[in-house]
Structure 1
Amino acid sequence: MSEHTVAEIGWSSLELEARRQLWSLPLSDLERQLLWADARAGRWGAAEPVRERLRSFVREAADSVGLTHIGNLVDPARPEKEITEALSFLLRDYGRIVPQNGRGDLTSVLRDQDGDGNTELGFHCDTCDLLVLLCIQPAYDGGGLTKLASARHVHDLIGRERPDALATLCEDWTFDRTGRAGPQLVVTPILYPRPDGTTGCYYQTRTVRSSPDRGGPELTDRQWEALGVLDEVLYRPEIAFGLPMAAGDLLIIRNSRVLHGRSAFLDEPGRYSRRMLRIWLNEGETWAR
């Protein structure tokens, strides 16, 4: 992997909204139709100019902001199987699809499970390079927003307010992920400097707290306090950005740079239930950052 310096932008929720043009790109209906036709054919043709525009935008946004939002990428009225196949083809430009659970599933559709949508999903990072979310149907009540936080901004803010807590978060932590996809044991700082000059992050709030119960090292009082500081900062309104996604919108998150979660929502059974297609990508040699 080649190393280079990235022009990273650490952002607050207000700054992310104000600079939307850096990370959010709406597609026209014609562009969407061209992409769909090539994806269904399984080869690039008339949509090649749109493809190149997307590649450039996604790369620049992922490097600077750590995420990319593409509006109107697919027609959500298409069958889920067709949408999944088409999206899998389009994502070949950005990495290799990898399993996202212990069963080896390469794709999954996130739905309310026994009312768990009523509970907010805390900030965390998935164990892949890029998290891909395609909105098939948003929550009818306007909830279920994807919540986003900049690791760089969180790092710098904690450094100013609680340098002792930041020093602890920059030490190695143990995440026991036994039975899940990918590495079973991850030992890493929660916030850390990366070779390309960016600030990296890795956080799974339940996994790090439960690792001692699975044989990992006990958390010290200092570590418990640092986790409390981190969670308090993440849930400040000026930190957490709630992104509403319309049906057909795509979101790509660089897990090493942006933490994500989900706000609570009320589900509507049947065809109007909230559905998000999730795919995990690991980047190739030429795209990795």
Structure 2
Amino acid sequence: MTDDTVTEIGWGSTTLDTRRALWSQPLGDEDRRLLWADATAGRWDGAAHVRDGLRAFTEESIRSVGFAHVPNLMDASADGGEIVEALSFVMRDFGEIIPQNAQGDLWQVLRERDGDGATELGFHCDTCDVLVLLCLQPAVLGGGDTKLASARYVREIIERERPDVLATLEEDWTFDRTGRAGQQVIVSPILFTQEDGTVGCYYQTRTVRTSPERGGPPLTERQWEALDVLDEVLYRPEIAFGLRLAAGDLLLIRNSRVLHGRSPYVDEPGPRARRVLRAWMNTGSR
């Protein structure tokens, strides 16, 4: 524990439903216009107060619950290149955008590929400090909600119900990410206590389960059981909070404290297909 200890809230789905002001603050149309003008010009002028308010809200929200939601940040119908440039400028206040794949892409538009929208994306943590998502087009035929889970709340439940499993999850695990951006092999506990006193997490269910096939240490029966218990807890209805992003909504997620996934969705081909702009960002803190 340090002098910089964070006031962290361990939350479930009901907590977030009833305390929306903790994590969501919409941008008014006039503030959005001013922000867009400054961001596209590449200098802060008329939107300096918007910048200050946005930074103060997101810092406090991420400090308390681990993520921040800003509806109506940008006009998602604007030119894609301009959106990337404008959002890159705004994000300079928060950290450094880093490559998110082996091709070195700093920004990527997520869309349905080979019908994968019909399947659920399991809970995981990306390998960066903060995940940046800007919704360009929601799934018009339903689904595609971002699913969020508090590492602290998950830990509290497992500690209460299965302290033996928690002890296993707090041991080192091997995540073989060969061929992906950043560190290729990561050895880390799945649940741990960070320097600021918050409960941390690092989890990729497919990566940790298949790492032995790529030369990592074999998993014991005790470890297989711990993974199964963790997955079962994560999918309890009181755990995950589902957030449906509207066009222009910004979502920032601190990966070391919040696990995220995505519900399945039904897409529509063409300009109304679901699209989400994604970036990975390092902030120099966990």
Amino acid corresponding to residue 74 of structure 1 in structure 2 = M
* Matches for 1:219-258 after TM superposition, within 5 Å: 219-258=219-258
Task: Quote how far apart the aligned CAs of 1:142 are.
Answer: 2.2
Partner Cα separation in structure 1 for residue 77 and residue 195 of structure 2? 43
Q: Give the corresponding residue for 1:147.
A: 147
Amino acid corresponding to residue 188 of structure 1 in structure 2 = S
Partner Cα separation in structure 1 for residue 185 and residue 16 of structure 2? 33
* Matches for 1:278-289 after TM superposition, within 5 Å: 278-284=278-284, 288-289=285-286
Q: Give the corresponding residue for 2:201.
A: 201
Task: Quote how far apart the aligned CAs of 1:165 are.
Answer: 0.6
Is it true that 1:10 corresponds to 2:17 in the alignment? no
Q: Give the corresponding residue for 1:135.
A: 135
Q: Give the corresponding residue for 2:271.
A: 271
Is it true that 1:189 corresponds to 2:189 in the alignment? yes
Partner Cα separation in structure 1 for residue 3 and residue 227 of structure 2? 31
Unaligned runs of 5+ in 2: none
Q: Give the corresponding residue for 1:166.
A: 166
Q: Give the corresponding residue for 1:49.
A: 49
Partner Cα separation in structure 2 for residue 12 and residue 251 of structure 1? 18
Partner Cα separation in structure 2 for residue 13 and residue 5 of structure 1? 24
Maintained 8 Å contact 1:120/1:263: yes
Q: Give the corresponding residue for 2:79.
A: 79
Partner Cα separation in structure 1 for residue 80 and residue 273 of structure 2? 14
Q: Give the corresponding residue for 2:104.
A: 104
Amino acid corresponding to residue 171 of structure 1 in structure 2 = E
Q: Deviations over 1:214-238 (max 9, x none)?
A: 0000000000000000000000110
How many equivalent residue pairs? 285
Amino acid corresponding to residue 66 of structure 1 in structure 2 = G
Q: Give the corresponding residue for 2:126.
A: 126
Amino acid corresponding to residue 256 of structure 2 in structure 1 = S
Task: Quote how far apart the aligned CAs of 1:3 are.
Answer: 6.2
Task: Quote how far apart the aligned CAs of 1:20 are.
Answer: 0.8
3-state DSSP of counterpart to 2:44: coil
Q: Give the corresponding residue for 1:157.
A: 157
TM-score normalised by the chain length of structure 1: 0.97
Maintained 8 Å contact 1:3/1:195: no
Q: Give the corresponding residue for 1:28.
A: 28
Amino acid corresponding to residue 88 of structure 2 in structure 1 = S
Identity of aligned residues (%): 68
TM-score normalised by the chain length of structure 2: 0.98
Partner Cα separation in structure 1 for residue 200 and residue 3 of structure 2? 14
Q: Runs of at least 4 residues of structure 1 off by over 6 A?
A: none
3-state DSSP of counterpart to 1:186: strand
Q: Deviations over 1:139-168 (max 9, x none)?
A: 012200000000000000000011111110
Q: Give the corresponding residue for 1:180.
A: 180
Amino acid corresponding to residue 14 of structure 1 in structure 2 = T
What is the root-mean-square deviation of aligned Cα atoms in Å? 0.9
3-state DSSP of counterpart to 1:16: helix
Q: Give the corresponding residue for 2:261.
A: 261
Partner Cα separation in structure 2 for residue 17 and residue 85 of structure 1? 33
Task: Quote how far apart the aligned CAs of 1:19 are.
Answer: 1.0
